Copies of this chain bind each other. A is one copy, B any other.
Amino acid sequence: MADTVQYDTYFKENRERHLQELQAFLSIPSISSLPSHQADMERAAKWLTTELMAAGMENAIVLQTAGHPVVYAEWLNAPDKPTVLIYGHYDVQPVDPLALWDTPPFEPTIRDEKLYARGATDDKGQLFMHIKAIEALMACRGELPVNIKVCFEGEEEIASPHFEAFVAENQDLLAADVVVISDTPLWEAGQPAIYYGLKGLCGLQIDLRGQKEDLHSGFFGGLVHNPLHAMAQLLASLVAEDGRIAIEGFYDDVKSLSEEEKTAFARIPYDAEATRESLGVESLFGEPEYSALERNWARPTLDINGMWGGFQGEGTKTVIPAEAHAKITCRLVDGQVPERILEKIEQHLQKHKPAGMTVSTSWLPGKASPYSTPVSHPAIQAAARAYIATYGAEPLYTRVGGTIPAVEVFHRLMHLPIVLMGFGMPDENYHAPNEHFYLVNFDTGLRTICCFLDEIAGLTSING
């Protein structure tokens, strides 16, 4: 294993400057969702190319997309070594409500060893750490232990609408052995976590129609089946009383949790009772044969996201509405294919629709395949060793019920293993006022990244 003392010292000696540079970066209001910040987005991208070149990377470039640009750079001078693709995003969320910030979101401020600013943890702070890790390794050794490509996106906070097209068009440029992303939190202080599974997503809108037009319930009461009642019956039929999804074949392709995973899940210090209390519900709900954590992380779910029909105003309107609508989405797990699930839902709807009702469906945007990398994968284990070396703690292997578009795209289009090795904390106010980043994880994380790159360099084979 390579020497770590050199870069440890380097980080200590350069800490002030590094934090000043990060504050300069965070002071650029790179809000991707607001057209008024277009110039800031370009400024942030340009700032990154300059920083990357200064750190020792080569060919740093701002690549245009149909939306905000992607920043790319590379260092490919280790021909016998694996190539690590570092992904991050330089765009941030809006800052409303501004009045709730203790210090202005784009005037980064350090208080109590925490750096307060929009983007401090999500994701500019974490992305910046990778640049500084590269800088440190180059400064200490004159070279990197592996080949590195960086790909910093500017549209993550708006659901990466152009990232799939970008990756599809730049597969050669982005070719690598493993992707590493630092955009997730530790489990808690001092306890690292590696996210090895994300759910997929698919959804559809249901449009149900009964009689030809809205009817007066006095003149036509007792003559037709009320389409809102028919929609209620149809929606009720999707999920059984006990929480099991009642769509035929819905679970067919689900890859069951292995005994190892079940054991690992049971070891996660997840407090279901605290979750229940924070949600303000009498009890948690879902498939009875699985734990709350299993359901949330590793079982597919179906939710009605919206439903509507008829009169929503004040007072009384005695109408029998002609149509009813609903939107549903499913979170999918390993083995499930979005299109196949959508087809099964459509079959269910046609089979269970009350007699005489017409039901049409349209697939919603945002389909994503489920993603997971086995925890035994050499790249995951390399990250685990890096965490152990720097945090002194075995990482927890965790999942999340959500989707990260970039992960899904890298996995689906390029079949790459992805290491979600983050340094945030769960309480750092992502997307909220007073977003901040604990500097202890800035310091420790810089060393973890260097250690991880050395670990990758030491692998005899990167593929699991």
Chain A positions near chain B (C-beta within 8 angstroms): 199, 201, 203, 210-213, 215-226, 228-229, 231-236, 238-239, 241, 243, 275, 279-287, 290, 292, 295-296, 299, 301, 303-312, 315-321, 324-327, 329, 331, 354-356, 364-366, 400-403
* Contact status of A327 and B311, CB under 8 A, knowing A211-B280, A283-B355, A401-B218: yes
Q: Do B222 and A286 have beta carbons less than 8 Å apart?
A: yes
* Contact status of A400 and B304, CB under 8 A, knowing A228-B235, A281-B211, A318-B201: no
Kindly state the separation between the CA atoms of A235 and B310 in the bound complex, as whole angstroms: 14
- Please give, as numbers and ranges, the residues of chain B lying within 8 Å of A282 by CB-CB distance: 355-356
Kindly state the separation between the CA atoms of A290 and B222 in the bound complex, as whole angstroms: 10
Tell me, rounded to whole Å, the shortest Cβ–Cβ distance linking A291 to chain B. Answer: 10
Tell me, rounded to whole Å, the shortest Cβ–Cβ distance linking A226 to chain B. Answer: 5
Q: Do B305 and A311 have beta carbons less than 8 Å apart?
A: yes
Q: Do A331 and B221 have beta carbons less than 8 Å apart?
A: yes
- Told that A224-B285, A236-B236 touch, could you supply 13 new A-B pairs with CB distance under 8 A? A212-B280, A217-B401, A218-B403, A219-B402, A221-B295, A222-B296, A226-B239, A303-B320, A304-B310, A307-B307, A310-B327, A316-B327, A316-B329
Q: Do A307 and B222 have beta carbons less than 8 Å apart?
A: no
- Please give, as numbers and ranges, the residues of chain B lying within 8 Å of A211 by CB-CB distance: 279-281
- Please give, as numbers and ranges, the residues of chain B lying within 8 Å of A220 by CB-CB distance: 279, 296, 401
- Please give, as numbers and ranges, the residues of chain B lying within 8 Å of A320 by CB-CB distance: 303, 305
21 contacts between A and B (CB under 8 A): A199-B218, A203-B318, A212-B280, A217-B305, A217-B401, A221-B295, A222-B299, A225-B281, A226-B304, A228-B305, A228-B326, A229-B235, A232-B232, A233-B241, A305-B311, A305-B320, A305-B321, A306-B317, A311-B327, A316-B327, A316-B366
Q: Which among A282, A320, A326, A327 has the highest number of chain B CB atoms within 10 Å? A: A327
- Please give, as numbers and ranges, the residues of chain B lying within 8 Å of A290 by CB-CB distance: 222
A225: nearest chain-B partner, CB-CB: B285
Kindly state the separation between the CA atoms of A427 and B216 in the bound complex, as whole angstroms: 17
Q: Do A219 and B284 have beta carbons less than 8 Å apart?
A: no
Contact residue among B225, B228, B275, B401 (Cβ-Cβ distance under 8 Å from A221):
B401
Kindly state the separation between the CA atoms of A201 and B226 in the bound complex, as whole angstroms: 17
- Please give, as numbers and ranges, the residues of chain B lying within 8 Å of A299 by CB-CB distance: 222
A301: nearest chain-B partner, CB-CB: B221
Q: Do B306 and A307 have beta carbons less than 8 Å apart?
A: no
Q: Do B279 and A212 have beta carbons less than 8 Å apart?
A: yes
* Contact status of A229 and B224, CB under 8 A, knowing A280-B211, A306-B321, A307-B324: no
Counting from the closest, the 9 A-B pairs by CB-CB distance are A218-B402, A222-B295, A212-B280, A306-B310, A232-B235, A221-B301, A306-B311, A228-B304, A225-B285
